[in-house]
Amino acid sequence: MMNKLITLFDKPSLKNPCLIAAWPGMGNVAMTAINYLKEKLDAKALGEIDPADFFAPTGALVAKQIISPPETPKNQFFYYQPKRSAYDIVLFLGSIQPIPHREYEFAKLILKLAQSFGVKTIYTAAAAPSDMHFKNTPRVFAVPNHKDIIKQLMGYKVHFMSDGNIAGLNGLLISVAGEIGLKGVCLLGEIPFFTAQIEYPRASLVVMEILTKLINVKIDLVDLELYANQKEKEIEPLAALLTKDRSISSGITGSDSQIIPESENKVPKSAQLKIEKLFRQAEFDRTYKNKMRLKEELDKWGLFDDYLDRFLDLFKKDREES
């Protein structure tokens, strides 16, 4: 019996389907990749999940000087049936991450629907921040939920992570899939540290190159390549500015030094203490949510640029330990 939170628009008979899912995350790697796949496949609508129990507005969107009403989150399923293939595809696209402490239940709900259609393999995508140059070709890290899958991935141009953390549903879904006996792989596209909060489609492109081979589907990636080139031109001035600022900072303070920014003198002591507390939390538990909570506080007081190096070090430590 289908869960009352799920509405199906169609009930196709699918052949050995896999599930490919995506939510927003760093560099928008997953959403850019899987949205592109959906459009190129011209996937059909399959169903949706009622967001009422899993989502709640946490901020406001300003457009043309006016605060907009809260948008209803989208949690949509699609499907694609190739004409000459033994494998069909189910896609899931979530417009935002669920509220804290409901992620696990939400993942179980998605997998329950996937199993009802015979899905046995799950794929997601995410980002792997590093100190790479933004014009270099990103690496792809493949993280399966069972060691036996590593052998299957050895024939692809991927790297593997020994230890680390994949925040959000893009990682959790693969973990929960393993818990209930489904195979799963998360493909992480490498992104420069400074693109964590802006779109970096070059990483989506390399993820798509691997994913399409894994699911045995051929699609034209030219449009995604052109889009990646366009975005690189847009972020080039930002990359140049950050490189300049970091070199000046290193020349004055040394690579291991931490000084109190001059602008912090204008910030209340209570705010300074809160920022230090958030840094310690992010250093102890380097999840995406902790880092973004810290960034929000720095942005609130106009201190993000002053703490840029120290903030980026949080991502660098993740990479070094992985």
CA distances from 159 to 5, 36, 194, 208, 315 (A): 38, 23, 22, 15, 18
Count Cβ atoms below 10 Å from residue 176 Cβ, excluding itself: 22
Query: C-alpha angle with apex 195: 197 to 193, nearest 5 degrees?
Result: 110
**Residue 233 domain-assigned?**
no
Q: Does 283 lie in the same domain as 172?
A: no
- What DSSP state is assigned to residue 159? B
Residue 130 contacts by C-beta under 8 Å, 6 or more apart in sequence?
Answer: 190, 191, 192, 193, 315, 316, 319
Residues 19 and 106 in one domain: yes
Q: How many domains does the chain have?
A: 2
Let me know whether 157 and 11 are in one domain: yes
Asked if residue 279 and residue 165 are part of one domain, the reply reads no
Pair (55, 157) in one structural domain: yes
Residues 6+ apart with CB under 8 A from 216: 85, 87
What CATH number did the domain enclosing 86 receive?
3.40.50.10900
Q: Which neighbouring-strand residues pair with 142?
A: 187
Is there a contact between 30 and 79 (Cβ–Cβ < 8 Å)?
A: no
Structural tokens at position 82:
């190739």
Same domain as 14, residue 143: yes
Residue 1 domain flag? no
Q: Which domain holds residue 16?
A: 6-227
Q: Do both 276 and 216 map to the same domain?
A: no
Predicted confidence (pLDDT) per residue in 130-168, tens digit: 888 888 899 999 999 998 999 889 999 999 988 888 889
CA distance 125 to 146: 17
Question: Which pLDDT does position 250 carry in this prediction?
Answer: 43
Predicted pLDDT of residue 315: 72
**Helices and strands (DSSP H and E) totals, the chain:** 9, 10
Beta carbons of 183 and 114 less than 8 angstroms apart: no
Assess whether 197 and 276 both reside in one domain.
no
Alpha-helix residue ranges (DSSP H) falling in the chain: 29-41, 103-116, 147-153, 169-179, 201-214, 222-253, 269-284, 288-300, 308-321
Q: Report d(CA 126, CA 152) in Å as an integer.
A: 20
pLDDT of residue 319: 52
* Phi (first) and psi of residue 12, to 5 degrees: -75, 155
Would you say residue 243 lies in a domain? no
Distance CA 236, CA 135 (A): 9
Same domain, 107 and 152: yes
Token pair recorded at residue 238: 């930002």
Terminal-residue alpha carbon distance, the chain: 42
Q: What is the pLDDT of residue 108?
A: 97
In a domain, 281, yes or no: yes
Residues 22, 121: one domain?
Answer: yes
CA–CA distance, 275 with 279 (Å, rounded to integer):
6
From edge to edge, which strands make up the β-sheet containing 89-94?
6-8, 44-49, 75-80, 89-94, 18-22, 121-130, 183-192, 140-144
Residues 222 and 270 in one domain: no
Other CB atoms within 10 A of residue 258 CB:
12
On whether residue 306 sits in a domain, the answer given is yes
Instruction: Write out the chain's pLDDT in tens, 322 residues.
Output: 457 899 999 999 999 999 999 999 999 999 999 999 999 999 999 999 999 989 988 888 888 889 999 889 999 999 999 887 778 999 999 999 999 899 999 999 999 999 999 999 999 999 999 888 888 899 999 999 998 999 889 999 999 988 888 889 999 999 999 999 999 999 999 999 889 889 999 999 999 999 999 999 999 999 999 999 999 999 888 888 776 655 434 443 333 333 344 454 568 888 888 888 888 888 877 676 777 788 888 888 888 878 887 887 877 655 555 4
Any domain includes 263: yes
Please indicate, yes or no, if residue 142 is contained in any of the structural domains. yes
Q: For residue 116, is it within any domain?
A: yes
Answer yes or no: do 279 and 178 share one domain.
Answer: no
Q: Model-level pTM?
A: 0.75
